[in-house]
C-alpha cells in the first residue's frame, strides 16, 4: 500500500485556499491549463465537467506498480455527460476520498478502496503512464499481461481502451486510448532494447489478433468471414482460438490500421451489432530471442486488451427471439465472469470450489488472466451521475470482489544451448540454490520478527487484524495469511520444544539433587553404623569393667543412656534426610511422568490439532474479511445509524430484506448475490440430474440382473426336479 500511496498526490492544478479544487471554479476560471483544454475537448464528446465540489487527486507514476501484485483494480470515473446533466443536473452518486478510496453516496453510503481511483481529470495519457507503461514493461520482460475494461454501457470502456484513434498515433491526439498508446510505447521500447543489446542479437516479433465474442460465438475481426471459431487447449499453445488470423505487426501504425479497417469491416457486415453487446479481445503475442554466453533464450508474452460488453442488467421484458438470445448470452458471459471471480475469491480463501471457466467463451479465453499465469489490470469504468447510481454501485461491488483474485505470473522463457553452456548454467544455478539456501537460513530472523505480531502464547490462532481500512491489503492478504500460518506453526513447535526442555532440565536437577541426598544418606548411615559399632564396643568394654568391678553398674547405665541418646539424634537426622530424599525422588518421578505425558501428547497429534485450530481460526477470519468487504455497504448502514434496515436483514435470519423499496441498492446487491447463487444452483441441479440418470440406469441394470438371477434359479430348480424324477424312475426300474 505504501507504494500505492506514493503514486498519488492531491492535485496541484488550480488549488483553492483549502487545497481543494472545485470543478465550478475550474469552469469559471479563465486560466488556460491543460486540464481546461481537455475539458473543452470532452465537451465535444457530450461529456462535461462541471457542478461538482469534490476534491481532485492527481495520480503519480510508479514503476514498481506491478512488482508486488499481479492483479490491480482501477476505478475510472468519467465526467458527467450533457444528457445526464439535463436529466439529473450535477448531482453525483460518488465522492472521491483519496487516490484509492471512493464513496458511493446513495443509501446507505458505502466506501470502497481500490488500487487506484482515477477521477474525470485523469487524462488518457496519465492513465496510460500509470497503468499502461508498467504493463508494457512486463510484457517485454516475458510476463503475460491482460487489461480489461468493465462497466455499464456508456461508462467509458471503449474510450479507455481505444479512445479516439482517428488521429492515428499522433502525440497530440489527447483522447487516444490505451491500445494505441500501448503499441506506440511497445515498439519504441523494443527499438531501444534492440539497440542496447545489439551484442546479444536480440530479435522481437509481435503478432496480433482481434476477436469479438457476440452471442457466445467467436468472430475473427481481422477476417469477418470466419465465424463461430472454437477455443482449444493444448500443451504447446495453451488456451487459444483455433484458426484465428494472426498478423505480424512492426509498428503502432500497423496496429491502428488493423483497428481502423476492422471497424470498417465490422460496421459493414454487422450493422445491428453494438459494442455494448459484445466483448472484444485484442491480443498481441510478443516473442523475443537472444543469445548470451552461448545460450539461446526465447521469451514470449501474451498481451490481452479486452473491452467488455456493457454490464448493465438486460431487461428481459419485451425481448424476443434473437434479442432475447443475445441478452441471455451477454448475461451468461458476464454472470459467468462474476461467478468465476466469486469462486476464485473463495478458492483463495481455502475453499475447494469448481471455477466454471468453461461455462462461457469469455472466461474460457481469459482463464489465464483470471487466477492464472498473468499480470492483470481491471479498469472498472463508472459514471458519477445520479441517474446511473445503481449500475455504478454494481460495478464498484464487482471491482471490489475482483481485488481478491490471486494470479501466479511467471516469466515465460525457454533457454537452450550447447552442452558446455548448459553445464555452466547448471553450475550457476547450483551456486544460486546454495546462495538462496544461505539467505533462507539467515532470513529466519526476519520471520521471527514478523511473528512477533502474532499474539502468543495464548490462543495459537489469535492475531492482530488491522481492519478494513487499516494497512490490510486484500491483494496481499492470502500471502500474509499463509505466512502467519507458518509462523504460528513454527511458534507452537518452538514453544512446545522449549517447554519440554524446561521440564527435562527440572527433572535432571531433581534427579541430581536426589542422588546427592542419597549419597549423603548412605554416608550418614555408614557413620551411624560406625557410631553404633563404637557404642557396642564401648558398651562391651564397660560391661567387662562392671564385671571386674572397675566401674559401677550405675555409671555403665548412664553412659549407655548417653550413647543411646546420641544414636537417637543421629537416627533422627537420618530420617529427616530420608524424607527429603523421598520428596526429591517423588518430584523426579512426577516430572518424568510429565515429560512422558507431554511427549505422548505431541506424538498423539497435538501439533496437528493445533495446526487445525490455527487454520480454522484463520479461515474464520478470512471469511469474516471477505464478508465484511463484500458487504461494506451493509456495515456502513450500521455506521450511519441506519439500524432499521440492518434489523430487517438480521431479523429475518437471511438476506431477504423486508420493506425494501423496489430497485433499492440493497435489493440490487442481493439480487446480484442471488444471481450467482442461482448459477450455482443451476450447476448443482445439472450435476444432480446427471447423478439421478446414472442412478436410474443402475437401478434398471440391477432389476435386469435380478430378473436374470431369478430365471436362472427357476431353471436350476426345474433341472433339479427333472433330475430327481429321473433318479426315481431309475430306482423304480431297478
Ligand atoms: N474519461 C472520459 N473523459 C471524457 N469523455 C469520456 C470519458 N469516458 C467516456 N467518455 C465519453 O463518454 C461516451 C461513452 O463512452 P464509451 O463509448 O467509451 O462507453 P462504453 O462503456 O464503451 O460504452 P459501450 O458499452 O456502449 O461500448 C463517449 O462519447 C466517450 O468519449
- CATH number, position 294: 3.40.850.10
Determine which residue's CA is closest to atom 15 belonging to ligand 1.
Answer: 156
Residue nearest to atom 16 of ligand 1 (CA): 156
Give the pLDDT score at 229: 93
Query: What is the pLDDT at residue 475?
Result: 38
Q: Cell triple for residue 11? A: 492535485
Cβ 311 under 6 angstroms from ligand 1: no
pLDDT of residue 372: 85
pLDDT of 702 reads 80
3-state helix, strand, coil in the chain (%, to 5): 55, 15, 25
**374 within a domain of the structure (yes/no):** yes
What residues are paired with 385 via a beta bridge?
Answer: 92
CB-CB contact of 350 with 344 (8 Å): no
For residue 682, what pLDDT band results from cuts at 50, 70 and 90? Answer: confident
Mean pLDDT (whole number) for 362-386:
91
225 and 274 belong to one structural domain: yes
Give φ, ψ of 52 to 5 degrees: -115, 150
Question: DSSP letters along 175-217, please?
Answer: TB-HHHHHHHHHHHHHHHHHHHTGGGT-EEEEEEEEEEEETTE
583 and 650 in a single domain? The answer is no
Q: Using 50, 70 and 90 to split pLDDT, how confident is the model at 578?
A: confident
User: What 3-state class would DSSP assign to 487?
Assistant: helix
Residue 683 domain-assigned (yes or no): yes
Q: How far is the CA of 43 from the centre of ligand 1 (A)?
A: 12
> What's residue 330's pLDDT?
64
Domain stops at, among 358, 391, 411: 411
Could you tell me the distance, in angstroms and rounded to a whole number, from the CA of residue 155 to the centre of ligand 1? 5
Residue 673 lies in a domain: yes
Give yes or no: residues 621 and 648 share one domain: no
pLDDT (average), residues 149-170 = 82
Q: Is residue 671 part of a domain?
A: yes
Evaluate if residue 456 carries a pLDDT over 70.
no
User: If residue 233 lies in a helix (H) or strand (E), which one and from where to where?
Assistant: strand 231-234
- With a 6 Å cutoff on the Cβ, whether 158 touches ligand 1 is yes
- Of the candidates 266, 34, 130, 108, the one whose C-alpha atom is nearest the C-alpha of residue 643 is 108
At residue 51, the pLDDT reads 41
Tell me what pLDDT residue 449 has. 36
Q: Which of 59, 156, 157, 326, when mutated, tests ligand 1's pocket best, judged by the most ligand atoms within 8 Å of its CB?
A: 156
Top mean-pLDDT range of 8-12, 96-100, 534-538, 667-671: 96-100
Ligand 1 close to Cβ of residue 134 (< 6 A): no
Pick the atom of ligand 1 nearest to 275's CA.
Answer: 27
Task: Give me the pLDDT at residue 77, please.
Answer: 96
pLDDT band at 697 (very low <50, low <70, confident <90, very high): confident
pTM of the model: 0.55
Domain that holds residue 117: 2-411
Alpha helices by DSSP H, 270-320: none
Q: Calculate mean pLDDT across residues 544-555.
A: 85
Bridge partners of 300, per DSSP, are: 287
Please report whether residue 454 resides in a domain: no
Same domain, 87 and 195: yes
Distance 487 CA to ligand 1 centre (A): 49
Is residue 78 in contact with ligand 1, taking CB distance under 6 Å? Answer: yes
Please identify which residue in the block is written with the cell numbers 477521477: 119
pLDDT of residue 18: 28
CA of 127 relative to ligand 1 center, distance in Å: 15
In this structure, are strands 145-151 and 217-220 parallel, antiparallel, or unpaired? unpaired
Q: Which three cell numbers stand for residue 127?
A: 492513465
Looking at residue 324, what is its pLDDT? 63
Residue 459 lies in a domain: no
Within-domain flag for 54:
yes
Q: Is pLDDT of 201 > 90?
A: no
Q: Which residues pair with 101 in a beta bridge?
A: 113
Residue with the nearest Cα to atom 14 of ligand 1? Answer: 154
Domain boundary among 411, 429, 452: 411
pLDDT on residue 534: 82
**432 or 344: which leads in pLDDT:** 344
Cβ contact 284:207 at 8 Å = yes
What's the pLDDT score for residue 104? 95
Residue 127 sits at the vertex; the CA angle it makes with 378 and 61, to the nearest 5 degrees, is 105
| pLDDT above 60 (res 479) | no
Q: Is 50 exceeded by the pLDDT of residue 421?
A: yes
* ipTM of the complex model: 0.98
Distance, CA of 130 to CA of 62 (rounded, Å) = 7
For the CA of 45, the closest atom of ligand 1 is 29
Answer whether residue 499 shows pLDDT above 80. no
Q: Indicate if ligand 1 lies below 6 Å from the C-beta of 157.
A: yes
Instruction: Choose the weakest-confidence range: 442-446, 466-470, 564-568, 630-634.
Output: 466-470
Q: Does the pLDDT of residue 552 top 50, yes or no?
A: yes
29 and 97 inside one domain: yes
Domain identity same for 389 and 494: no
Domain count along the chain: 3
Calculate the alpha carbon distances from 345 to 61, 355, 413, 681, 702 in Å.
Answer: 29, 10, 29, 18, 43
Q: What percent of the chain has pLDDT over 70?
A: 61
Residue 475 burial (10 A CB sphere; 0-12, 13-18, 19+): buried
What pLDDT shows up at residue 620? 63
Nearest-atom index, ligand 1, CA of 307: 22
Q: How far is the CA of 156 from the centre of ligand 1 (A)?
A: 3
| pLDDT tens figures, 72-88 | 999 999 999 999 998 88
| 243 and 140 both lie in a single domain | yes
Q: Which atom of ligand 1 is nearest to the CA of 78?
A: 1
Q: For the ranges 94-103, 432-441, 579-588, 637-646, which has the lowest average pLDDT? A: 637-646
Give the domain CATH number at 573.
1.10.287
Q: How far apart are CA 710 and CA 445, in angstroms?
A: 75
Bridge-based pairing state of the strands 231-234 and 80-81: unpaired
Q: Are residues 620 and 646 in the same domain?
A: no
Binding site, annotated residues: 151-158
Q: Are residues 496 and 397 in the same domain?
A: no
Q: Is there a contact between 101 and 112 (Cβ–Cβ < 8 Å)?
A: yes
Tens-place pLDDT, residues 206-241: 999 999 998 888 999 888 888 889 999 887 778 899
The overall average pLDDT reported for the chain is 72
Among 384, 411, 438, where does a domain finish?
Answer: 411
Q: Which pLDDT belongs to residue 94? A: 94
Taking the CB of residue 498, how many other CB atoms lie within 10 A of it?
10
Give the pLDDT confidence of 92-133 residue by residue, as tens digits.
999 999 989 999 998 889 999 999 999 999 999 999 999 999
| 607 shares its domain with 628 | yes
Ligand 1 pocket check for 42: Cβ under 6 Å: yes
Q: Where are the beta strands (DSSP E) in 337-424?
A: 375-382, 413-417
Query: Would 462 be classed as within a structural domain?
Result: no
Residues contacting 291, CB < 8 A, separation 6+: 200, 201, 297, 417
Dist. CA 293–CA 298, nearest whole Å: 14
pLDDT tier, 23 (very low <50, low <70, confident <90, very high otherwise): very low
| Candidate ranges 354-368, 428-442, 467-481, 538-552; pick with highest mean pLDDT | 354-368
275 lines ligand 1 (CB under 6 A): yes
Q: Over the range 256-278, which residues count as b (16 or more CB within 10 Å of their CB) and which as e?
A: bebbeebeeebeeeeeebebbbb
- Would the pLDDT of 195 be above 80? yes
Sign, CA torsion 457/458/461/463: negative
Size (the chain), residues: 734
**Are 658 and 617 part of one and the same domain?**
no
Per-residue pLDDT, averaged over 136-148, amounts to: 91
Lowest model confidence (mean pLDDT) among 153-162, 466-475, 569-578, 593-602 = 466-475
Q: Is 156 in the pocket of ligand 1 (CB under 6 A)?
A: yes
Summarize the annotated binding site for ATP as residue ranges: 151-158
Percentage with pLDDT > 90 across the chain: 19
- The 10 Å CB-count burial string (b at 16+, else e) for 423-442 is eeeeeeeeeeeeeeeeeeee
Whether residues 148 and 266 share a domain: the answer is yes
Q: Work out the pLDDT band at 271, boundaries 50, 70, 90.
A: very low
What would the mean pLDDT of 426-448 be, rounded to a whole number?
58
pLDDT band at residue 436 under the 50/70/90 scheme:
low
Range in 147-156, 326-335, 609-618 with the lowest mean pLDDT: 609-618
Tell me what the mean pLDDT of segment 695-720 comes to: 82
Nearest CA residue ID for atom 4, ligand 1: 42
Q: How confident is the model at residue 157 (pLDDT cuts 50, 70, 90)?
A: very high
Answer for the pair 359, 386: CB distance below 8 angstroms, yes or no. no
Mutate to test the pocket of ligand 1, among 23, 35, 78, 274 (most ligand atoms within 8 A of CB): 78
Task: Please state which of the ranges 9-13, 194-198, 257-261, 262-266 shows the lowest mean pLDDT.
Answer: 9-13
More confident residue, 640 or 469: 640
Amino acid at each position: 500500500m505504501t507504494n500505492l500511496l506514493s503514486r498519488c498526490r492531491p492535485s496541484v492544478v488550480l488549488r483553492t485556499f483549502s487545497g481543494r479544487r472545485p470543478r465550478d471554479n475550474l469552469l469559471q476560471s479563465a486560466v488556460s491549463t491543460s486540464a481546461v483544454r481537455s475539458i473543452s475537448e470532452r465537451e465535444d464528446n457530450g461529456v462535461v465537467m462541471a457542478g461538482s465540489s469534490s476534491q481532485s487527486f492527481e495520480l503519480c507514476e510508479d514503476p514498481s506498480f506491478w512488482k508486488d501484485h499481479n492483479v490491480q483494480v482501477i476505478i475510472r470515473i468519467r465526467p458527467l455527460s450533457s444528457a445526464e446533466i439535463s436529466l439529473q443536473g450535477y448531482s453525483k452518486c460518488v465522492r472521491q476520498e483519496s487516490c484509492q478510496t471512493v464513496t458511493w453516496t446513495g443509501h446507505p453510503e458505502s466506501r470502497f478502496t481500490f488500487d487506484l481511483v482515477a477521477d474525470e481529470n485523469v487524462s488518457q495519457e496519465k492513465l496510460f503512464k500509470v497503468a499502461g507503461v508498467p504493463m508494457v514493461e512486463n510484457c517485454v520482460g516475458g510476463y503475460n499481461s491482460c487489461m480489461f475494461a468493465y462497466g455499464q454501457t456508456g461508462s467509458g470502456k471503449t474510450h479507455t481502451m481505444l479512445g479516439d484513434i482517428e488521429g492515428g498515433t499522433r502525440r497530440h491526439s489527447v483522447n487516444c486510448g490505451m491500445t494505441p498508446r500501448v503499441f506506440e510505447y511497445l515498439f519504441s521500447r523494443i527499438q531501444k532494447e534492440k539497440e542496447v543489446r545489439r551484442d546479444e542479437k536480440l530479435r522481437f516479433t509481435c503478432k496480433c489478433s482481434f476477436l469479438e465474442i457476440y452471442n457466445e460465438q467467436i468472430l475473427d475481426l481481422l477476417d469477418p468471414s470466419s465465424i463461430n471459431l472454437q477455443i482449444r487447449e493444448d500443451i504447446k499453445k495453451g488456451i487459444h482460438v483455433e484458426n484465428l488470423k494472426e498478423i505480424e505487426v512492426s509498428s503502432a501504425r500497423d496496429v491502428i490500421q488493423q483497428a481502423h479497417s476492422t471497424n470498417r469491416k465490422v460496421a459493414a457486415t454487422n450493422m445491428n451489432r453494438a459494442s455494448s453487446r459484445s466483448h472484444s479481445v485484442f491480443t498481441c503475442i510478443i516473442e523475443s530471442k537472444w543469445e548470451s554466453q552461448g545460450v539461446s533464450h526465447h521469451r514470449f508474452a501474451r498481451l490481452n486488451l479486452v473491452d467488455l460488453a456493457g454490464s448493465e442488467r438486460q431487461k428481459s421484458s419485451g425481448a424476443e427471439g434473437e434479442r432475447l438470445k443475445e441478452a441471455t448470452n451477454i448475461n451468461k458471459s458476464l454472470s459467468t465472469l462474476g461467478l468465476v471471480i466469486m469462486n476464485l475469491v473463495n478458492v483463495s480463501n481455502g475453499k475447494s470450489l469448481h471455477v466454471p471457466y468453461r461455462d462461457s467463451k469469455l472466461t474460457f479465453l481469459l482463464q489465464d488472466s483470471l487466477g492464472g499465469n498473468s499480470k492483470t489490470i481491471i479498469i472498472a469504468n463508472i459514471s458519477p451521475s445520479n441517474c446511473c447510481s445503481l449500475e455504478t454501485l454494481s460495478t464498484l461491488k464487482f471491482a471490489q470482489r475482483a481485488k481478491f483474485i490471486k494470479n501466479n505470473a511467471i516469466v515465460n522463457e525457454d533457454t537452450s544451448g550447447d552442452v558446455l553452456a548448459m553445464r555452466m548454467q547448471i553450475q550457476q544455478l547450483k551456486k544460486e540454490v546454495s546462495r538462496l539456501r544461505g539467505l533462507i537460513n539467515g532470513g529466519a530472523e526476519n520471520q521471527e520478527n514478523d511473528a512477533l505480531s502474532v499474539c502468543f502464547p495464548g490462543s495459537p490462532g489469535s492475531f492482530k487484524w488491522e481492519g478494513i481500512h487499516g494497512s490490510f491489503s486484500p491483494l496481499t492478504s492470502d500471502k500474509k495469511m499463509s505466512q502467519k500460518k507458518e509462523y504460528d506453526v513454527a511458534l507452537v513447535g518452538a514453544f512446545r520444544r522449549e517447554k519440554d526442555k524446561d521440564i527435562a532440565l527440572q527433572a535432571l536437577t531433581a534427579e541430581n539433587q536426589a542422588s546427592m541426598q542419597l549419597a549423603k544418606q548412605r554416608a550418614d548411615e555408614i557413620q551411624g553404623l560406625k557410631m553404633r559399632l563404637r557404642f557396642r564396643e564401648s558398651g562391651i568394654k564397660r560391661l567387662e569393667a562392671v564385671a571386674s568391678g572397675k566401674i559401677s553398674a550405675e555409671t555403665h547405665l548412664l553412659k549407655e543412656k548417653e550413647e543411646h541418646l546420641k544414636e537417637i539424634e543421629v537416627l533422627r537426622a537420618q530420617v529427616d534426610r530420608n524424607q527429603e530424599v523421598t520428596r526429591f525422588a517423588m518430584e523426579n518421578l512426577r516430572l518424568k511422568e510429565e515429560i512422558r505425558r507431554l511427549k505422548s501428547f505431541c506424538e498423539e497429534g497435538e501439533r496437528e490439532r493445533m495446526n487445525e485450530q490455527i487454520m480454522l481460526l484463520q479461515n474464520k477470519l478470512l471469511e469474516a474479511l471477505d464478508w465484511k468487504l463484500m458487504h461494506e455497504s451493509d456495515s456502513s448502514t450500521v455506521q450511519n445509524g441506519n439500524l432499521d434496515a440492518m434489523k430487517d436483514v438480521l431479523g429475518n435470519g437471511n438476506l431477504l430484506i423486508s420493506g425494501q423499496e423496489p430497485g433499492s441498492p440493497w435489493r440490487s446487491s442481493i439480487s446480484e448475490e442471488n444471481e450467482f447463487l442461482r448459477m450455482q444452483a443451476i450447476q448443482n441441479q445439472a450435476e444432480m440430474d446427471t447423478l439421478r440418470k446414472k442412478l436410474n440406469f443402475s437401478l434398471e441394470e440391477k432389476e435386469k440382473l435380478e430378473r436374470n438371477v431369478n430365471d436362472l434359479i427357476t431353471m436350476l430348480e426345474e433341472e433339479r426336479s427333472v433330475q430327481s424324477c429321473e433318479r426315481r424312475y431309475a430306482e423304480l426300474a431297478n
